[in-house]
Amino acid sequence: MDLITGQRVVITGATSGIGRLTALELVRRGGNVTIVCRNLEKGKATAAEIESTVAGTSVDVLVADLSGLEQVRRVAAEICARYPVVDVLVNNAGVQDLRPRLTPDGFDHMVASNYLGPFLLTNLILDRTRAAAAARIVVVASEAHRIAGRLDPETFEHLGSYSRATAMWAYGRTKLLDLLFALELARRLEGTRVTANALCPGLVATNLVGGKPMLGPVDRMLSLTPMLRTPEQGARMSVRLATDPSLDGVTGRFFTSTPGMRFLPPAGPTRDASLQRRIWERTAQLVGLETAAG
């Protein structure tokens, strides 16, 4: 077991599914874990469960809905006020909406939750990761990024209309944005002691959509094959990227847990550094970030 004794870990979306089990395992490995969640009661329940499982531990709970930019700014300020150093940041929180809806800021809810909020949070606490001896930023993306299609740097935040039948495409668009974010972040952090990597946890039976497994009845069939993973299996890659000493200094990579996908060539946008830079710059404008990493 690779230990991270005494390291401060911040993980979003940790009250269920992959996030909860990632948090539990990082506590087992000695991390001082802070979970960022939308619901305080669920956060307290998760913290109590982890503390009862791993004796002598304490889990901090902070509340923010990452789809709300003001909430992201507030929780980032709390993190900076509480912790002089953040050794590990796991951007795990994510949703899949089946129909578009707008946030109070005027963004598509799925884009804001999966991409804009994590982008802003990461940048606002970046100084705390830079203060670490060797920090790791982990972004939970998805192989669904391969179905996202072309990205226009000037309009990428507009998903347009989508329905249950096309929601996976829209979700894939947000996950492509996450992956490009991680790649550009790694580039901007070159020469520092902070690494940034993205991952696909595989197709996992979680409550990503409306509290039910993402694919509904299809999950029951897939659970009989290697394609559908349990949340415990889905958390393994996040834990590895947060703790594995063989990954010291490794940055700007995408790690997949989906069987066979590592043999596919990278999607075109992941090879386009100029696209990644332009999307980063426009995202910073969208979220009102005056200065970004680099």
Residue 91's H or E segment, with its range, is strand 88-91
> Whole-angstrom Cα distance, residue 135 to residue 291?
20
Set 83, 115, 162, 171: catalytic member: 171
Q: What are φ and ψ of residue 227, in 5° steps?
A: -70, -40
Task: Using alpha carbons, select from 208, 225, 220 the residue that is nearest to residue 168.
Answer: 208
E-state strands within 150-293 = 194-200, 203-204, 228-229, 254-256
Select from 281, 34, 261, 43 the least CA-distant residue to 143: 261
Our answer to whether residue 83 is catalytic in this structure is no
* 234 contacts 200 by C-beta, under 8 angstroms: no
C-alpha dihedral (79, 81, 84, 86), degrees to nearest 10: 0
Q: What residues act catalytically? A: 171
